[in-house]
Amino acid sequence: MSTIVHVVVPTPAHSSLSDPLTYASELPLPPGTLVRVPLGKREVCGVVWDAPAGEAAPMQLKHVGAVLDGLPPLSAHWRQLVGFAASYYQRSLGEVALAALPPQLRELDASQLARRLKRAAGDASAPPQAVRPELTPDQQRALEAIAAEAGPFLLFGATGSGKTEVYLRAMEALLARDPQAQGLVLVPEINLTPQLQARFVERFGADAVVPLHSGMTNPQRLRSWIAAHSGAARIVLGTRMAVFASLPRLGLVVVDEEHDPSYKQQEGARYSARDLAVYRGRLEGVKVVLGSATPSLESWQACDRGRYRCLEMPDRVGAGALPAVRVVNMNHQPRGTLFSAPLLSAIQARIARGEQSLIFLNRRGYAPVLACGSCDWRSECSHCSAFRVFHKIDRTLRCHHCGYTERVPRACPKCGNVDVAPLGRGTERLEEQLAELLADARRPDGTPVRIARMDADSTRLKGALEQQLAQVHSGEVDVLVGTQMVTKGHDFRSITLVAAVNPDSALFSSDFRAPERLFSLLMQAAGRAGRDAAHAAASEMWVQTFNPDHPLFVALKKHDFAAFAAQQLQERRQAAMPPFAFQALLRAEARTQEVAQAFLQAAADASAGLEGSGHVVVYAPVPMAVQRVANVERAQLLLESGSRPALQAFLSAWQPVLQDLRMKGLIRWAVDVDPLAV
């Protein structure tokens, strides 16, 4: 006698198969069981789901192909998390559920899985006896609050205040109470994972801590996932994808650098891992700690409204002071000045004393554009509405959107002029010009200065990032030039000067979140200086700007995040912008801009009268900031509401309407809830 089971399978959001499919099974299968089922002409991995209420089963059913019974079923809490994410972010259940599983697991049959499980089994070693630093009063108060209250908590700590030690001690307390408990630690980017993992491994042992991020191979991800799902791993440490890790005994969630935009997925299901972490904590009744020196305005407002408990840690470990911020008015400098004379002298003084400097410019490559001096030719990408960036190191013009690359032309392709020159600066050019300016500088031992560059290009090869970080930590590098990847989370003990050479562009961006991101980046960059208490008093953050009186720089000079946040929230309130309003974007991609906008306009016209439409403003469609990528035209339509439930009701009612819209030349469309860039 066959039983009926409901299975979610990997289908796209716009498919008519977005709900669980019905199959027949020889044995009753509990929800959460992994199975292989026929779908069309292929067999796919699926997850047995809870039966929908009141749905009649069809007369003829396909049978479940195989049951992956070597793994325990995925928990009800995990299925609820996936169900919420799919509903809130307007995606199909199967798309979210199957994407949350390791790619290799989705391809294995029962016998292959059994071999992997046998290989993964092993004896756990005892954790090492790591040296624990003495807690500061701020750290002690934070840990006492985390132990006594329910949370969620916002750990608002200055850079260098010891937030990581609070995470470690909170995990220790959890495992002391329940040796079988598990913890989840999220970090924003892959390059932060190895160093934080080393701290956790030192404290808890290599067998207790597993990483989970997209930089791992498929077999590595599968091993980590199985260790977490089986309960063998005590702590999972990973990027945004790890928020969906199956942790049957979850007891604590930590989100480090919670403000970072990297927590928002930008492809497929566009979820916010930070927001899902908070939801997961509430769902499973576990404590959530969000940590940042520059919290997101959404989290800051949640503290003001009493939804989060703010734990302040204003003092650095070891009584070190935050670096003094010096703002250089570039209006008083000669035209074309790269480094002002006072800043250059300060860098040279650090080199002579054997200290390190960090130069921050958030633009990689040699120059953002190559231009002809005789005609209007620019190094535009033929596939995108963007310029190709000049990379001098390999003499290429490279599009950072579609990847199209070609050699630098010997002469202008339009007029034949050989005087083709770079415009603007990237980290490559900054490194080169800095080497020229510091050619006569000498280290204390009389050797020449050593300059290194750290960005997505210089760390592209496997192991390059770790090697460069080791050189900085060992003192082999005197001046480090880098993008935002060097401003986050790194504990550089000998850096006493940080300089931001060109931060003004974000001040006048059309993106209302640009000032918030800039202030966060500059505060994080400043936090790399003076982390060793012995050098803290002489540490400095230099900012070269043409707008020295801007409120952002006034707050930065005082390290006053609260004042900056208050000013930004006031502006957002007056303009009815998030977090005082709720937004969603409908994006369309088509062969022509006309088709993309026509689809969006048809969607807007069809939205009248839908549930919640009286509380939702639907704006006119417009091209995206980068209108064309890889020969695909892109446009978007903004929706805004003062009520989150009204916006969600509207989007749910709108989905079937969007799926029914057909337009020749339309490639794809997607809904982005709570977008970071509008």
Q: What is the mean pLDDT of residues 186-190?
A: 89
* pLDDT (0 to 100) of residue 124: 55
Show the domains of the chain with their CATH numbers: 3-120 (3.40.1440.60), 137-317 (3.40.50.300), 322-364+426-572 (3.40.50.300), 373-420 (no CATH), 582-673 (3.30.70.600)
* pLDDT (0 to 100) of residue 70: 85
- In tens, the pLDDT along 35-52 reads 999 988 889 999 999 887
* pLDDT (0 to 100) of residue 487: 80
- In tens, the pLDDT along 428-444 reads 999 999 999 999 999 99
Q: What value does the CA radius of gyration of the chain take, rounded to a whole number of Å?
A: 27
Distance between start and end Cα atoms, the chain: 55
Higher pLDDT: 151 or 103? It is 103
* pLDDT (0 to 100) of residue 10: 87
* pLDDT (0 to 100) of residue 242: 95
Q: How confident is the model at residue 54 (pLDDT cuts 50, 70, 90)?
A: low
* pLDDT (0 to 100) of residue 402: 92
Asked whether residue 664 carries a pLDDT value surpassing 80, the answer given is: yes
**Among 630, 633, 635, 634, which Cα is nearest to 384's?**
630
Percent of the chain with pLDDT over 70: 95
Q: How confident is the model at residue 15 (pLDDT cuts 50, 70, 90)?
A: low
Q: Residue 334, SS3?
A: coil
Asked whether residue 2 carries a pLDDT value surpassing 90, the answer given is: no
- Looking up tokens 């500088």, which residue turns up? 441
Please classify residue 614 by burial: count the beta carbons closer than 10 Å to its beta carbon, then call 0-12 exposed, 13-18 middle and 19+ buried.
Answer: exposed
With contact defined as beta carbons under 8 Å apart, do 67 and 23 qualify?
no
Q: How confident is the model at residue 123 (pLDDT cuts 50, 70, 90)?
A: low
Looking at the DSSP bridge assignments, the partners of residue 270 are none
Asked whether residue 466 carries a pLDDT value surpassing 70, the answer given is: yes
Asked whether residue 491 carries a pLDDT value surpassing 80, the answer given is: no
DSSP track, 554-566: HHHHTT-HHHHHH
- Looking up tokens 């916006």, which residue turns up? 647
Burial 194-222 (b: 16+ CB within 10 A, else e): ebbbebbbebbbebbbbbbbebbeeebbb
- In tens, the pLDDT along 359-412 reads 999 888 888 999 998 888 999 999 999 999 999 888 999 999 999 999 999 899
* pLDDT (0 to 100) of residue 469: 84
* pLDDT (0 to 100) of residue 449: 92
Q: What is the mean pLDDT of residues 266-276?
A: 92
> Mean pLDDT highest for which of 105-119, 267-281, 505-519?
267-281
Asked whether residue 56 carries a pLDDT value surpassing 80, the answer given is: no
| pTM across the whole model | 0.91
Q: Which two tokens stand for residue 520?
A: 């966060």
Asked whether residue 357 carries a pLDDT value surpassing 80, the answer given is: yes
* pLDDT (0 to 100) of residue 362: 86
Asked whether residue 122 carries a pLDDT value surpassing 60, the answer given is: no
Percent of the chain with pLDDT over 90: 61
Q: What is the mean pLDDT of residues 178-190?
A: 92
Higher pLDDT: 464 or 642? It is 642
With contact defined as beta carbons under 8 Å apart, do 661 and 599 qualify?
yes
Q: How confident is the model at residue 574 (pLDDT cuts 50, 70, 90)?
A: very high
* pLDDT (0 to 100) of residue 215: 85
**Among 260, 321, 269, which Cα is nearest to 293's?**
260
Q: What is the mean pLDDT of residues 664-672?
A: 92
Q: What is the mean pLDDT of residues 598-619?
A: 92
* Alpha-carbon span 557 to 657, nearest angstrom: 51
Q: How confident is the model at residue 16 (pLDDT cuts 50, 70, 90)?
A: low
Asked whether residue 102 carries a pLDDT value surpassing 70, the answer given is: yes
What is the average pLDDT value for the chain, to the nearest integer? 89
With contact defined as beta carbons under 8 Å apart, do 32 and 47 qualify?
yes
Q: How confident is the model at residue 61 (pLDDT cuts 50, 70, 90)?
A: confident
How many other C-beta atoms lie within 10 A of the C-beta of residue 312?
16
Q: What is the mean pLDDT of residues 163-177?
A: 94
Burial 569-587 (b: 16+ CB within 10 A, else e): beebeeeebbbebbbbbbb
Asked whether residue 678 carries a pLDDT value surpassing 80, the answer given is: no
Angstrom distances, CA of residue 26 to CA of 59, 170, 270: 16, 46, 37
Q: What is the mean pLDDT of residues 116-129?
A: 65
* pLDDT (0 to 100) of residue 17: 59
